[in-house]
Amino acid sequence: MGSYKLINLAFKSITRNKMRSLLTMLGIIIGVASVISLVSIGNGAKADVEKQVASLGTNLIIIHTSRSKTGGVRGGSESLDTLDLNDYKLLKEKATAISGISPVIKEQCQVIASATNWNTSIYGVSPDYLSVCNFSVESGEFFTQRDVKAMSKVAVVGKTVVDELFADQNPIGKKIRIRNVPFRIIGVLAEKGQSGMGTDQDDVILAPSTTVLYRLGNGKTVRTIMASAVTPEKMTDARTQITTILRASHRLSAGQENDFRIRDQTEINNMATGVTGTLTVLLSAIAGVSLLVGGIGVMNIMLVSVTERTREIGIRMAVGARGIDILLQFLVEAVILSLIGGIVGVVTGLGLAFLMGNILGTSVVMTGSVIIYTTLFTGAVGVFFGFYPARKAANLNPIDALKYE
Amino acid sequence: MHTIELKKINKEYAMGDVVVRALKNVSLTIGQGEFIAVMGTSGSGKSTLMNILGCLDLAGGGDYFIEGVHVNKMSKKKLADIRNEKIGFVFQGFNLLARTTAIENVELPLFYERGRSGGNIRDKALAALKQVGLGNRLHHEPNQLSGGQQQRVAIARALVNSPSIIFADEPTGNLDSQTTVEILSLFQELNDRGITIVLVTHEQDVSLYAKRIIEMRDGEIIKDEKVLERKNAFEELALSGSGKTRLTLMSAAGGKF
Ligand SMILES: Nc1ncnc2c1ncn2[C@@H]1O[C@H](COP(=O)(O)OP(=O)(O)OP(=O)(O)O)[C@@H](O)[C@H]1O
Ligand SMILES: [Mg+2]
C-alpha cells in the first residue's frame, strides 16, 4: 500500500471519531503546550537575568571583606574591617590587568530635599565607578579625582531619587542634606532599571568615596572594591594580581586564609542563571511527564480502535493484506494522531508563552530547535505507544479476526 | 498438477475439555476449471474446509497444495500474497467494510497487490462492479445496498484481481430465487472463462448449477459425484426475460477475464 493511501486511511479513521480523536490528542496537546511554553518562558527568564547581570558592569570583579579565621577561630564583626582605602590605592597603582577600580562605601540614609525626603543608598565611589558598573551620566557631570581628593560635597543621583525628591524639576545645582551634610547635585545618571536580584539600580546617590567615608561612614571600613578586568580573558590574571597584592598588604603568611573574597561576573552570572536553569529543567521534566501521559492516552485509544476494527483487519487480511500492511496502517494512524496533537500543542504553547510573557513582563525566548525536537518527540511518542496496538493488530489470524464479534 | 490437492486434512477445535473434530482426514483434489458445490448439514465442516482452502485458516494436520505449492510450509507473508493473487473469497456474511463505498470495497484487494499488475485501480474496480451489474451503485455504502447488491459487491471484490480460484461460502444463502440465479449465472460465466469455483450451499437446486457435488457429514466427505443434468443460469434468465440489461452489459464487457 502506498504511503499516500496509508496517510489518507489514517485521516479517514481519525476524522470518523472526531470527538474521540480530539480527546486523545488533548493529552498530547497539553503536554506539548506545557513543554513549549515553560521552556520558552524559562529561556526568556534566563536571558533576562543574563542581560541584567551584564548591566551590572563589564568584566566585573568584586572584592569583599571576609571574616578572617585565625587558628580556626572565627573573628567577631570587627574582623570585617579588612579592606580600606589604602588597599584600593595599592590595587589601582599595582594591578596591571585591571582597567578601572573603585571603592564602594555604602550608607543607607534618609535624604532631605527642600520639600520632601527619601530613604536611599549613598555610594561613596571613585570616578572609575561609572565605567566599572556601566553607569553613564545623562545630564550634568560626574565628579572627578580632584573632587575625591578635596572631599567635595557633590553628588550624582539616579532617576528614582530625582523622581522622589524633585518630581519634574531640574535637580542640577539643587542642595540635598544627608545626615545633616549638605551635598550639591552636579549630575543625573542615565536610567539602568532593575538588577538581576530585583533591586532598583536607579535608586542611588553617588558621591566621592572620601566624602562618604569620612563624613557619613566610620572613616575606615571599605566593605567592597569593584574593578573591571582589561578584557574578559584577563579576568584570571586580574584575580591573581589582586590576591597577591592584598595578601602582601595584609601581611598574610603562606598558611593563612585570605581575609577577603573575590567574585567575578561569570560567577554572578552562573549563580543567577543557575536558579532559573534548574527551574527550567524541573518544569520541563514535569511537562515531559505529561507528554508521556498523553502518549499512554494514544496507546489506549489505539488499543480500543484495534479491538473495534478487528473484523476490518480480518477483511483486509482476507483480501491479501500482510501483517506489515496492518502494522503500518495503525502505526501511521497513531503517529498522525500524536503529530497533529504536537503541532496544535506547539501553536498553543507559543501562544500561551507570549501571553504569559506579556502578563508577567518577562521575555519569551523560543528557539526553532526546541519546536523541531518537541514535534519529532511527539512523532516518536506516536511510534512508541502506537507500536504495541499496531503489532497486536498485525499478529491477528485472519480467521480469528473475521469471526470476531 | 492439480489446482488444489488436500491430503488427510484434519482440524480440531478445543472447547475446554471437549474437542470438536471439524475435519477428519479430508482428502480431495480439484482440477483447473472445475465448478464444485459443497453440500452438507449444518455443522458438517463446510465452512471450516472453505477457510482452510482459502488460506484464511491453517489445517491442524495433513498437507495442502495449491497449484503445487505446499501451503502448510508457507510464511504468513506468503499466505497473504496467495490470498491476494490467486484466491477470491466470497463470505457467507458479505464481510464488506462498513461506511466504505462499493467501489472502495472492490478496490481493496488492489491496494495490497505486490507485483503491480498495471492498470488503474479505479478502472479495474469499476469494470468488476459493472460485471456484477452494479455500475450504477458505485458510491453507495453497504448499509445503503440491498442484501443481493451487497453480495454482488462482495463477488466483484473477489474477482477484481483476476484470481484463478474463487471460494464462495453460501453466496446465495439469503437471496431470493431470482437474484440467486443471477449470481449463479455470473459464477457460470466466470467458470466458463477458466476460473475454478468452489461454492458452499444448502440448496439441492443451487448445487445443480455446478459440475461436481461434494457432500460432507461430521467432518468427512461422504459423497463426491458429477452433475449429470447441469442447469444453465444464462439460458434461464434469457427465457424469463429478466436481468437482460445486465447480460447485454456483460457480453459487451466480454473477455475481460
Ligand atoms: N472457532 C470454533 N471453535 C470451536 N468450534 C468450532 C469453531 N468453528 C467451528 N466449530 C465447530 O466445527 C464444526 C464445523 O463447523 P462449520 O462452521 O465448518 O460448519 P458448517 O458446515 O459450515 O455449518 P453451516 O452450514 O451451519 O455453516 C461445528 O461443530 C462447529 O461447532
Ligand atoms: Mg458454514
From first to last of its 405 residues, chain A has per-residue pLDDT tens of 677 888 988 998 899 889 999 999 998 999 899 888 888 888 888 888 777 777 777 688 999 887 655 545 544 444 567 888 889 999 999 999 999 999 999 999 899 988 788 999 999 999 999 988 888 899 999 999 999 999 999 999 999 999 889 887 889 999 999 988 999 999 999 988 776 566 788 899 999 999 999 998 888 888 899 999 988 888 889 999 999 999 998 888 888 888 888 888 777 777 777 777 777 788 778 878 888 888 999 999 999 999 999 999 999 999 999 999 999 999 999 999 999 999 999 999 999 999 988 998 888 888 888 889 888 989 999 999 999 999 999 999 999 999 887
Residue B247 has pLDDT above 50, yes or no: no
Q: Do B84 and A319 touch (CB under 8 A)?
A: yes
Which residues of chain B lie closer than 8 angstroms to A316, CB-CB? 108, 112
Side-chain-facing half-sphere of B207: CA atoms under 13 Å: 18
CB A216 within 8 Å of CB A181:
yes
Q: Do A323 and B80 touch (CB under 8 A)?
A: yes
Tell me which residue has cell 545618571. A189
Is residue B15 lining ligand 1, measured as CB closer than 6 Å? yes
pLDDT of residue A65: 86
Side-chain-facing half-sphere of B247: CA atoms under 13 Å: 18
Question: For residue A263, how many other CB atoms are within 10 A of its CB?
Answer: 14
pLDDT of residue B205: 92
User: Which residue's CA is the closest to the ligand 1 atom numbered 24?
Assistant: B42
Phi, psi for residue B116 in degrees, rounded to 5: 50, 80
Is residue B45 lining ligand 1, measured as CB closer than 6 Å? yes
Residue B149 has pLDDT above 50, yes or no: yes
Side-chain-facing half-sphere of B77: CA atoms under 13 Å: 4
pLDDT of residue B163: 94
**Position A28: which residue type?**
I
User: H or E element: which one contains A238?
Assistant: helix A235-249
Say which ligand is closest to the CA of B48.
1
**Position B74: which residue type?**
M
Tell me if B38 is assigned to some domain: yes
- Provide the domain count of chain B: 1
Tell me which residue has cell 456484477. B132
Say which ligand is closest to the CA of B38.
1
Q: How far apart are CA B156 and CA B142, in angstroms?
A: 14
User: H or E element: which one contains A229?
Assistant: strand A224-229
Tell me what ipTM this predicted complex has.
0.91
pTM comes to 0.75
Q: Do B109 and A312 touch (CB under 8 A)?
A: no
Among A51, A189, A174, smallest CA distance to A129 is for A189
CB A298 within 8 Å of CB A388:
no
Q: Which residues in B7-18 are b (16+ Cβ under 10 Å) and which e? A: bebebeeeeeee
Q: How far apart are CA B25 and CA B217, in angstroms?
A: 12
* Residue from the list B54, B91, B108 with its beta carbon closest to the beta carbon of A316: B108
Ligand 2 center to A318 CA (angstroms): 17
Is residue B196 lining ligand 1, measured as CB closer than 6 Å? no
From B10, B13, B202, mutation site for ligand 1 pocket: most ligand atoms within 8 A of C-beta: B13
pLDDT of residue B70: 94
CB B202 within 8 Å of CB B43:
no
C-alpha cell at B169: 461460502
User: Which residue's CA is the closest to the ligand 1 atom numbered 22?
Assistant: B47
pLDDT of residue B43: 92
Q: Residues, chain B, total? A: 257
B179-B182-B183-B187 Cα dihedral, nearest 10 degrees: 170
Ligand 2 center to B97 CA (angstroms): 21
Interface test with B, best of A12, A319, A402 (most B CBs within 10 A): A319
Q: Do B76 and A322 touch (CB under 8 A)?
A: yes
Q: At what angle are helices A265-308 and A368-394 packed, to 10 degrees?
A: 30
The average pLDDT across B49-66 equals 94
Q: How far apart are CA B222 and CA B213, in angstroms?
A: 11
Is residue B46 lining ligand 1, measured as CB closer than 6 Å? yes
What confidence tier does B249 reach under pLDDT thresholds 50, 70, 90?
very low
Among A243, A245, A265, smallest CA distance to A54 is for A265
Q: What percent of chain B has pLDDT over 90?
A: 70
CATH of the domain at B40: 3.40.50.300
The average pLDDT across B203-215 equals 95
CB A87 within 8 Å of CB A209:
no
pLDDT of residue B142: 94
Is residue B40 lining ligand 1, measured as CB closer than 6 Å? yes
Ligand 1 center to B37 CA (angstroms): 18
Which residues of chain A lie closer than 8 angstroms to B89, CB-CB? 318-319
Range of the domain at B121: 34-51+87-253
Q: How far apart are CA A290 and CA A295, in angstroms?
A: 9
**Position B179: which residue type?**
T
Phi, psi for residue A249 in degrees, rounded to 5: -65, -35
Is residue B51 lining ligand 1, measured as CB closer than 6 Å? no
Q: Is the Cβ of A1 closer than 8 Å to some Cβ of chain B?
A: yes
Among B152, B193, B189, B190, smallest CA distance to B171 is for B152
Say which ligand is closest to the CA of B203.
1
Side-chain-facing half-sphere of A310: CA atoms under 13 Å: 15
Strand partners, B213: B37, B225
Q: How far apart are CA A370 and CA A376, in angstroms?
A: 10
Tell me if B248 is assigned to some domain: yes
**Position A89: which residue type?**
K
Strand partners, A70: A73
pLDDT of residue B216: 96
Ligand 2 center to A371 CA (angstroms): 56
Side-chain-facing half-sphere of B173: CA atoms under 13 Å: 16
* Residue from the list A314, A319, A322 with its beta carbon closest to the beta carbon of B108: A319
Instruction: Look up residue A194 and give its DSSP letter.
Output: B
Q: Is the Cβ of A380 closer than 8 Å to some Cβ of chain B?
A: no
Q: Do A319 and B97 touch (CB under 8 A)?
A: no
Q: Is the Cβ of B113 closer than 8 Å to some Cβ of chain A?
A: yes
Which residues of chain A lie closer than 8 angstroms to B108, CB-CB? 315-316, 319
Which residues of chain B lie closer than 8 angstroms to A312, CB-CB? 97-98
DSSP chain B: --SEEEEEEEEEEEETTEEEEEEEEEEEEE-TT-EEEEEE-TTSSHHHHHHHHTTSS--SEEEEEETTEEGGG--HHHHHHHHHHTEEEEBTTB-PPTTS-HHHHHHHHHHT-SS---S-HHHHHHHHHHHTT-TT-TT--GGGS-HHHHHHHHHHHHHTT--SEEEEESTTTTS-HHHHHHHHHHHHHHHHTT-EEEEE-S-HHHHTTSSEEEEEETTEEEEEEE-SS---HHHHHHHH-TTHHHHHHHHHTTT--
Q: Which residues in B47-59 are b (16+ Cβ under 10 Å) and which e? A: bbbbbbbbbbbbb
pLDDT of residue A157: 93
C-alpha cell at A385: 505507544
Q: What residues contact residue A256 under an 8 Å CB cut-off, 6+ apart?
A: A68
